[in-house]
Structure 1
Amino acid sequence: MRALTWQGKHDVRVETVPDPEIVNPRDAILKVTSTAICGSDLHLYDGVIPGMMSGDILGHEFMGEVVEAGPKSTLKKGQRVVVPFTISCGKCFFCEKQLYSACDNSNPADKQDLTEPLYGHALSALFGYSHLTGGYPGGQAEYVRVPFSDVGPIVIPDGLEDDKVLFLSDILPTGWMAAENADIEEGDVVAVWGCGPVGLFAIQSALAMGAGKVIAIDEYPTRLDLARKLGAEVIDFKQTHVLEALMEMSGGFGPDAVIDAVGMEAHGFAPDTILDNIKQNVGMGADSAHALREAILAVRKGGRISIPGVYGGFLDKFPLGAVMEKGVQIRTGQTHVQKYLKELLHKIGEGEIDTTFLISHRLPLEEAARGYENFRYKQNEWTKVVLKPGTEATA
């Protein structure tokens, strides 16, 4: 089959690799019909996530048709399913508490040894996201093996095309959980850093949960315009002093809740960002966290901080004093995708949530490298890229 493989920093290639096979009785094999490039994939593309090996198959946002199912899978041949990016057994202590992204059994024992010393506990597994999270081949491919297929995938009813449901795999539930973690109350002022895919869905979700005002912070005009169309007020951080603007827009209190949808590769020319980026480029530090620092300073006393943005290692200049003295709460974590699938699929089916507004480009799988490059360097025009395996490459 053809699949997108990671070969090094800013080097991804579509190559011919072996077809996946059933390994365990709960496995299923999918023929991938749609897969997307996620902002988190850019961390791999930029080489800031450790544990990648040459030839690893990328991709954790995908859906497709079941072509083979193991004897203990609940799926049937021919079903269309969306697959969560989190791989979860469904039976461990954490899965039974619906903390699916903390699954204790999905990451193989030999991989757990890579993360336990760094994080205190072993990470659970994710598709296509380094050997720290299991080394499972991802879904930017023609076919993919889905472990624990009786737990993760959700069957899609007829009449809902791929574009409407693909983002159930990650970014829609991630944005929803980000808003949920912010404990939004009716009429709250909520500020969201980053108007990429997760940030936009967090804005959409916060408004659906009753926020009175959502303020979106970014630098790209197209993204800010998308946020504005969703109902947010916007701040261009290149043109405006963010903290001063947020105080004014929140009546002098600061936002009730803040959401960092940027994560470990914050950009810009703030002094702390420049220092973080230098350290990141020379291997002295892992995370650039200007957005998180700013969010902590902005949130009102007694407020809530939600962090859906990905962080992988250590960061310095962390304003812990502000966290403690202001009495704020912080909630974060990889998304417990399976927890939200039925509710969000229902909302899509009823027309309460639209996801298609985000898609700017659809490309054949063979053009995935071009998709990555443009998604990385032309973020104003390339807001979301969907790859379609089996379609013809353009001239």
Structure 2
Amino acid sequence: MQAVVLKERERGQYVTVTDLPVPRLAGPGDVRIRALSVGLDGTDREIIRNRYGVLPEGASQLVIGHELLGVVVEAGPASMLKPGELATVLVRRPCGDVRCTCCRSGQQDYCSTGFYTERGIRGADGFLCEYVVERSDYVVPVPRECAEYGVLVEPQSIVEKAWNQIGSLQRRLAWSPETVLIVGSGPLGLLATLTCRSVGLDVHVWSRSGADSVNADIVRSCGGRYHEVNLREEPGADSGLLSGGGGLSGVSGLAEFAVTQRISPDLIWECSGYSPHAFEAMKALNANGVLALLGVASGDRRIEISSDMLNQEMVLKNKAIIGSVNASRADFESAIRRLQRIEAMYPGQLVRLMTERLSLGQVPDLDFEQVTVKAVVDLVTREEAARLIGGGVRDGY
């Protein structure tokens, strides 16, 4: 079978397409999954561009890719799954350290030791290949009606994890949020937008994508309000670090923007990965509000900021900051339900997020600067997918 791998060589790592043996079931609880499509995100960009991945111990290569939609083609007798079922797979595996209570309790997304593995990212092969074998414990069934947008379950699970954290945290008070500010209009920013609109919140999105972009149109199509960033380059800013998908490198003035536009957010989602916003956002946030960080900063950006201001805002106004990366089975399951709700309320908008459809062979040379919102790799044709899952697949599965 063909696979996209990160390989080692004397001059460093590189990404290529190679042939690998088709994996076989190793136990009665295993299933073999035919990959239908695999989404690419910022982590994949870092792996492909900056060779960010960690190879399995003793291996010379790592199969990349961690956002899977596939179909079960072989199921062990103890798996409780059956051929023809759509499925996705959890990404993180527990560290195995008996002192890590989170991993011992099935909450490896909160691993305290840092010695976890992640499929396609760190120490374990991923899903950008034709077939995947996995223990059924880590396989999440996906309803057939989600075939068109099921590849979004993994990124939506990150949003769901943050949403669940926010709900748990805000039980500390009588909180009735009304206004949300989302920074960045990449895949996570748009999924956060659709999530917040699906529960009736007033959503403002601040991003550098043009007002006539697909990103902006998706925001408006679900009733959100889109604000194009007024770029102000700062000395030393790396304007190329965050690209396509609504990054905001080299931009300042989030608090000023919120004041000028009279936006008073109860909740801010930082989805651009431009870390200075994470701190500036604290000033713009309402008392008792929450700042959720979903974008992962890359590089070594530095800013001058008043630590006293941060202290005062958090202590005197009861503000909180949370982060979300990776997710649990419960988050994957709630992600599926949320995507179904979003599709019912805003038909066709989820499919619009997947702006580029690629083949395996195009991945190593992918220019992420040219990706409008999200790139998805298709490993089978629409006709083959329909045959594998028994029909019911429309364009853009």
| Structure-2 separation of matches of 1:368 and 1:50 | 15
Q: 2:267 aligns to what?
A: 257
Q: Distance in 1 between matches of 2:310 and 2:23?
A: 47
Q: CA deviation at 1:126?
A: 2.0
Aligned to 2:3: 3
Structure 1 pair 186/98, CA: closer, same or farther in 2 (3 Å)? farther
How far did 1:242 drift?
A: 3.1
Matched, 1:162 2:141: no
- Give the aligned CA root-mean-square deviation in angstroms: 3.4
1:115-147, Cα deviation, whole Å (9 max, x unpaired)? xxxxx62243322012xxxx111111111222x
Aligned to 1:28: 31
What is the aligned counterpart of 1:329 among 320, 331, 350?
320
SS of the equivalent of 2:180 reads strand
User: In the alignment, what sits opposite 2:119?
Assistant: 127
Letter in 1 for 2:259: M
Corresponding position of 2:374: 384
How is 1:238-257 mapped onto 2 (pairs within 5 angstroms)?
238-239=230-231, 241-250=253-262, 254-257=264-267
Q: How many residues align?
A: 336
Deviations 1:77-107 (A, max 9, x none): 332212233346999843686735135xxxx
TM-score (norm 2): 0.73
CA shift, 1:35, in A, is 1.1
Partner Cα separation in structure 2 for residue 82 and residue 50 of structure 1: 21
1:101 to 1:75, Cα distance in 2 relative to 1, 3 A: same
Q: CA deviation at 1:61?
A: 0.5
Find the partner of 1:306 among 260, 283, 292.
Answer: 292
Identity %: 22
d(CA) in 1 for partners of 2:203, 2:231 = 19
The structural deviation recorded for 1:260 is 1.3
Asked if the contact 2:160/2:334 (under 8 Å) is kept, the reply is: no
Pair 1:323–1:48, CA change in 2 (3 A):
farther
Superposed, 1:129-144 pairs within 5 Å as 129-130=121-122, 135-144=123-132
Other-structure match for 1:117:
none
Gaps of 5+ in 1: 104-119, 267-288
What is the aligned partner in structure 2 of residue 224 from structure 1?
216
Residue 124 of structure 2 aligns to a residue in which SS?
coil
Q: What CA distance in whole angstroms lies between the structure 1 residues aligned with 2:80 and 2:300?
A: 40
Residue of structure 2 equivalent to 1:281: none
Structure 2 counterpart of 1:243, one-letter code: A
Q: Is the 1:102–1:124 contact (alpha carbons within 8 Å) kept by the matching residues of 2?
A: no
**1:304 shift after superposition:** 1.1
**CA deviation digits over 1:284-319, x for unaligned, max 9?**
xxxxx2232332343234421111223589876585
1:294 paired with 2:285, answer no
CA contact (8 A) 2:158 2:324 kept: no
The amino acid of 2:256's aligned partner reads E
Closer, same or farther in 2 for the Cα pair 1:46/1:96, shift >3 Å? same
TM-score under structure 1 length normalisation: 0.73
**Retained in 2: the 8 A contact 1:179–1:259?**
no
Compared CA separation, residues 2 and 322, structure 1 to 2 (3 A): farther
Distance 2:178 2:330 in 1: 25
Match of 1:208 in 2: 198
Q: What residue identity is the alignment partner of 2:260?
A: E
Residue 156 to residue 176, structure 1, CA distance change in 2 (3 Å): closer
Distance of 1:64 and 1:230 partners within structure 2:
28
- Residue 334 (structure 1) shift: 2.0
Q: How far off is 1:58 after superposition?
A: 0.8
One-letter code of the match for 1:234? Answer: Y
Deviation digits for residues 229-283 of structure 1 (CA, Å, limit 9, x no counterpart): 23222232234843212123345xx4222111123xx3xxxxxxxxxxxxxxxxx
Whether contact under 8 Å (1:62, 1:83) holds in the other structure is yes
SS of the residue 2:333 aligns to = helix
Pair 1:312–1:86, CA change in 2 (3 A): farther
Match of 1:192 among 182, 196, 213: 182
Cα distance in 1 for residues equivalent to 2:208 and 2:301: 23
Q: Distance in 2 between matches of 1:70 and 1:102?
A: 29
Q: Aligned with 1:360: secondary structure?
A: strand
Mapped partners of 2:337, 2:131: distance in 1 = 27
Quick one: structure 1 residues 137 and 207, their matched pair in 2 at CA, closer, same or farther if it must change by over 3 Å?
same
Match of 1:63 in 2: 69
Deviation at 1:202, TM superposition (A): 0.7
Mapping 1:95-134, distance limit 5 Å: 99-102=107-110, 121-130=113-122
